[in-house]
Structure 1
Amino acid sequence: MTHSIIKASNYTALQLIKGYQRYLSPIKGFKCASGHLYGDTTCSAAIKAIVKNQGIVQGFPAIQNQLKRCHSAARQLAANPGQPQSGVFCCVLPIPL
């Protein structure tokens, strides 16, 4: 890929994440499972940081790991109904990772 295509891809990805965080995330009313279970950043914030620091192409393995982490957290929460889960959701749970 040429440098300009990669730069455009990174910019587009960041704009999509920002739009999601600003307009969609507040409406949906839930937090990602990873952020809830581990008490750290949400997937969108983590992926945004990865794209900023590594770019979407080089950061792709780290993005996959973040989504797998969220998927695993959602499974952990589902297996432990005694844990508070109100407003928790994994966007990738139906997708086998």
Structure 2
Amino acid sequence: MKTFAIAAIDGYQRFISPYKGFGCAHRVRTGGASCSRFAKRAIASLGMIAGLLVTSVALKHAPPRHGSSRARKADQPRRHRRLPQPRKSQASPL
């Protein structure tokens, strides 16, 4: 099973990935390995089940895919909700 999964990833990396026209979200976020390379390494070192679990958790935290309407530009800051400011009391001076 492990050998088949690694062979399938090799096929994807060689025949599909170079022609899809955009980079993997994991590579964009981390600046390191692509999603498929991360999965291949995880499966090779941890086995099929544990490798897929580790990969799914890691990629779940990747940013939205390229071209998604939810994708945020790298130079655009995240918007956080402002917390309500405490009201200043109108105490009269003595």
> Same-fold call, TM > 0.5?
yes
Say if 1:58 and 1:74 are closer, same or farther in 2 by CA, change over 3 A: same
Paired residue secondary structure (1:74): coil
Going by fraction, where is strand more abundant, 1 or 2?
1
Give the structure-2-normalised TM-score. Answer: 0.66
Q: 2:64 aligns with which of 74, 88, 91?
A: 74
State which structure, 1 or 2, has the greater radius of gyration over its C-alpha atoms. 2
Provide Cα deviations, 1:46-78, integer angstroms capped at 9, x if missing partner. 0000010011112232021122022xx127x81
Unpaired stretches in structure 2, ≥5 consecutive residues: 77-94
Structure with higher RCO (Cα < 8 A, 6+ apart): 1
Give the structure-1-normalised TM-score. Answer: 0.64
CA contact (8 A) 1:43 1:66 kept: no
Deviation beyond 6 Å, 4+ runs, structure 1: none
% of aligned pairs identical? 33
- In the alignment of these two chains, the number of paired residues is 72
Q: 2:54 aligns with which of 48, 62, 67?
A: 62
Q: What RMSD, in angstroms, separates the aligned Cα atoms of the two structures?
A: 2.1
Q: Is structure 2 residue 41 aligned with structure 1 residue 46?
A: no
Going by fraction, where is helix more abundant, 1 or 2?
1
Say if 1:81 and 1:36 are closer, same or farther in 2 by CA, change over 3 A: closer
Unpaired stretches in structure 1, ≥5 consecutive residues: 1-8, 84-97
Paired residue secondary structure (2:32): coil
Equivalent residue letter for 1:74: P
